[in-house]
Amino acid sequence: MSLYSIAWKYIWGRLLASALTALSVALGVSLILATFLLTRGIRASFIVGATDYSLLVGAKSNPTQLVLGTIFRMDVATPNMPYSVYEQLHDDVRVERAVPVALGDAYQGFRYVGTTIDYFAAAPWRRKTFAVAVGRLWDETPPEQPTYEALLGAEVAQRTGLRLGDAFYEGEEMAEYPLTVVGILRPTYSADDRTIFFSLASFWGMNEVARNAAVKPLTTVLVRPKRLSDLPNLHREFNVNPETQAVLPSAVLLTIFNLLSVAEEVLRFVLEAVVLVVLLYLFVALYSAMLERRREIATMRALGARRLTVLLIVLLEACFIALLGGLAGLVGGHGMAALGAHLLSQRGGLALAPFTVSALQPLLLAGVTLLGGGAGLLPAVLAYRTEVAENLAPLS
């Protein structure tokens, strides 16, 4: 027998009511945790996945579409520009690295990307790293010869079941030019996990129009200047050029981030309201329980329990319920976040890194327990102030 067991007995005695109260706490905690994990994950994935190259050059179109198509592999219309733009950039003395990218069709929903192996090359200024899990990169010598060797992103291999050496194609007209898997990448938690890479020559070889064209098409060139201070100049030059546009991908992403921030603000309001409602519910549940329990409290006092003791019992009840709800909410929150991440990756091409347990979870739990205690404060004071003699017998 201890104060803890007394508090627990009272919770257990009103099992349904206690369970409902704990459930509402769980719901609130789940929502808060899931929202936090998802927004943080989305921001992180934007940052990791997108910013190695400070400049994108593409055909004249919508800048946002260019960024979304190139970096997030979303299915947006991206007009072509001539291969000579890449050659020009490659030779430009201000450019450290230029990587050509050609976006094409897809296999079972996983986009085709024609590029050079520079795409995967490490550099001190790169945040993103690529590693081959099995196999190798495709052969690039000679560059004009299509090899139809494909490198698969991690999720592609997982979902399609393709393995090293497998040949595949999509659509009957592609039957003549099947691709062979020569390598599979490790996960990068970006859209590249859902992409199939091969050489530019293979890309043009597969496409009937490109095969016969004199000027080979490209979608984008990813550019890293030697000096960042040259960015505004490069940016302006390629925008002024009638054939091309230049985009700072971070600028586009910042606009998206601004929208995300607005959404987060709204969500925060909603969550605060939810927290308030849950606390109110907890308070009302405990308060009405106290009113019903006045006789038992008076009895405990008559048996020699001090005022502080009965106050502590009620506070413990509140904290227990909040703690239980918090624990359930942690599990539910992670579940909700996992579901959300899955949906995002399916529909939006956004891959989130798996959620880890950090200092956040215990902090959230402690916060919930404290708030629960706060909600129970007034009912506890009610117990404290119970007049013993009046409440010992039921009103006749």
Which of 281, 257, 249 lies closest to 375 in space, CA to CA? 281
Considering the complex, state which of residue 131 and residue 392 has its C-beta at the smaller distance from another protein.
392
3-class DSSP assignment, residue 130: coil
Taking the C-alpha atoms of residue 232 and residue 349, their distance in angstroms, rounded to an integer, is 30
**Min dist. Cβ of residue 217 to another protein (A):** 27
**Min dist. Cβ of residue 45 to another protein (A):** 11
Span 218-237, contacts to another protein by CB under 8 A:
225-233, 235-236
**Min dist. Cβ of residue 302 to another protein (A):** 6
DSSP string, 51-116: -S-SEEEEESS-HHHHHHHHHH--------EETHHHHHHHH-TTEEEEEEEEEEEEETTEEEEEE-
Give, for 247, the enclosing helix (H) or strand (E): strand 244-247
Considering the complex, state which of residue 215 and residue 259 has its C-beta at the smaller distance from another protein.
259
Please select the residue that binds another protein; options are 306, 331, 348, 370, rule is CB under 8 A.
306
Considering the complex, state which of residue 4 and residue 269 has its C-beta at the smaller distance from another protein.
4
Please select the residue that binds another protein; options are 213, 305, 360, 365, rule is CB under 8 A.
305
Q: Give yes or no for residue 393 binding another protein (CB under 8 A).
A: yes
DSSP string, 350-391: PPPPPP---SHHHHHHHHHHHHHHHHTHHHHHHHHT--HHHH
Query: Site size for another protein, by CB under 8 A?
Result: 61
Q: Is the preceding peptide bond at 142 cis, omega within 30 degrees of 0?
A: yes
Please select the residue that binds another protein; options are 16, 209, 357, 395, rule is CB under 8 A.
395
Structure tokens at 197: 């890479």
**Min dist. Cβ of residue 31 to another protein (A):** 23
Q: Give yes or no for residue 46 binding another protein (CB under 8 A).
A: yes
Q: Using an 8 Å Cβ cutoff, are 372 and 319 in contact?
A: yes
Q: Quick one: which segment of 32-40, 149-157, 304-312, 332-340 binds another protein (CB under 8 A)? A: 304-312
**Dihedral pair phi/psi, residue 217, rounded to 5°:** -90, 150
Considering the complex, state which of residue 76 and residue 231 has its C-beta at the smaller distance from another protein.
231
Please select the residue that binds another protein; options are 165, 242, 304, 354, rule is CB under 8 A.
304
Please select the residue that binds another protein; options are 26, 37, 50, 218, rule is CB under 8 A.
50
Q: Using an 8 Å Cβ cutoff, are 332 and 24 in contact?
A: no
**Dihedral pair phi/psi, residue 377, rounded to 5°:** -65, -45
Span 103-142, contacts to another protein by CB under 8 A:
124-125, 127
Show the site string, 55-94: x = touches another protein by CB under 8 A, - = not. Answer: ----------------------------------------
**Min dist. Cβ of residue 359 to another protein (A):** 16
Please select the residue that binds another protein; options are 307, 353, 374, 378, rule is CB under 8 A.
307
Considering the complex, state which of residue 66 and residue 300 has its C-beta at the smaller distance from another protein.
300
Which of 302, 330, 297, 294 lies closest to 312 in space, CA to CA? 297
Q: In 296-335, which positions are buried (b, 16+ CB within 10 angstroms) versus exposed (e)? A: ebbebbeeebeeeebbbbbbbbbbbbbbbbbbbbbebbbe
Q: Using an 8 Å Cβ cutoff, are 196 and 202 in contact?
A: no
Span 276-295, contacts to another protein by CB under 8 A:
295
Which residues are CB-neighbours of 90 under 8 A, at least 6 positions away? 98
**Min dist. Cβ of residue 296 to another protein (A):** 5
Antiparallel, parallel or unpaired: β 95-107 and 220-225: antiparallel
| Contacting residues toward another protein, per CB under 8 A | 1-2, 6, 9-10, 12-13, 43, 46-47, 50-51, 54, 96, 124-125, 127, 225-233, 235-236, 239-240, 248, 250-251, 253-258, 261, 295-296, 299-309, 388-390, 392-396
